[in-house]
Amino acid sequence: MRSGHTEACVDLCRLASLPPVGVLAELMNDNGSVMRGPEVAAFAQKHKLAQVSIAELIAYRQNRDKLVERVGEFRVASEIGTLNGYAYVTPFDRVHHMAFVYGDIGGGRNVLARLHRADVIGDVFGGAKSIHAALTRFKQDGRGVIVYLRDGTAGVPVAEIPQEAATGTEAARSRQWREIGLGAQILKDLGITSIRLLASSKRTYVGLGGFGIEIAATEPLEG
């Protein structure tokens, strides 16, 4: 889950089938400052060096590595009928993520899908309105899937809970991985390749295409 240069160095070694040993060095300007962004790109172009960003490396691995493992299957009674439930784990999460499938997803095309980040307060005390709204849509359509993504403090005001140190960028990347990368890998495991995304707010899941999941449409979810 940490996206540092050390981890990137090890990733590059492993992708090249080499021992995970590398040398790291900072690029410096003549005034002693560290090169950033455009300065690095100019340096690479001048010296005809290949350049890759850590974000690109993460995207490459998430797109090609299978980072979810299905560890359980179960049945769940709901207001629209029985759902097929699936539990998943990842190498770097201590919690189970779940998917709930209604109906027959068939060839996996144009399936109604809700990527739902667990909200303890909203789901337990707020009536889980978005989940029930999604189930209603599934009943009308005859099929659908809720991908239920969890983390240690989902939905709880994080300012009130002691947190491990993390930068804003790291936290944002972690949320993006859960909502896009992890969600996409669970959809792929279920045999889904194209979804009609049910969204209660305007969100851009532009990264899903990189995982082989097509967003055929984004439809509003009332609830």
Which CATH number does the domain housing residue 123 bear?
Answer: 3.40.50.10990
Residues 174 and 99 in one domain: yes
Mean pLDDT over residues 121-142, rounded?
A: 93
Tokens read off for 40: 């690095």
Mean pLDDT over residues 32-42, rounded?
A: 93
Amino acid making up residue 21:
V
CA 192 → CA 98, 113, 184, 199, 203, distances in Å?
15, 10, 9, 18, 20
Percent of the chain with pLDDT over 70: 81
Whether 4 has a pLDDT exceeding 90, the answer reads: no
Whether 101 has a pLDDT exceeding 70, the answer reads: yes
**Taking the CB of residue 113, how many other CB atoms lie within 10 A of it?**
28
Whether 48 has a pLDDT exceeding 50, the answer reads: yes
SS3 of 78-112: the string is ECCEEEEEEEEECCCCCCCEEEEEECCCCCCCCEE
Residue 184 structural domain: 69-220
- Residue 21: strand, helix, or coil: coil
**Helix then strand then coil, % of the chain, to nearest 5:** 35, 25, 40
Q: Which residues contact 161 (CB under 8 A, 6 or more apart)?
A: 153
Domain edge (last residue) among 41, 64, 87: 64
Tokens read off for 104: 């027959």
Fill in the DSSP letter of residue 199. Answer: E
Domain edge (last residue) among 22, 46, 64: 64
What confidence score (pLDDT) does residue 221 get? 84
What confidence score (pLDDT) does residue 203 get? 60
Report the domain count for the chain.
2
Residues 101 and 147 in one domain: yes
CA 13 → CA 8, 16, 68, 82, distances in Å?
9, 5, 22, 47
Residues 55 and 76 in one domain: no
Residues 35 and 109 in one domain: no
Whether 162 has a pLDDT exceeding 50, the answer reads: no
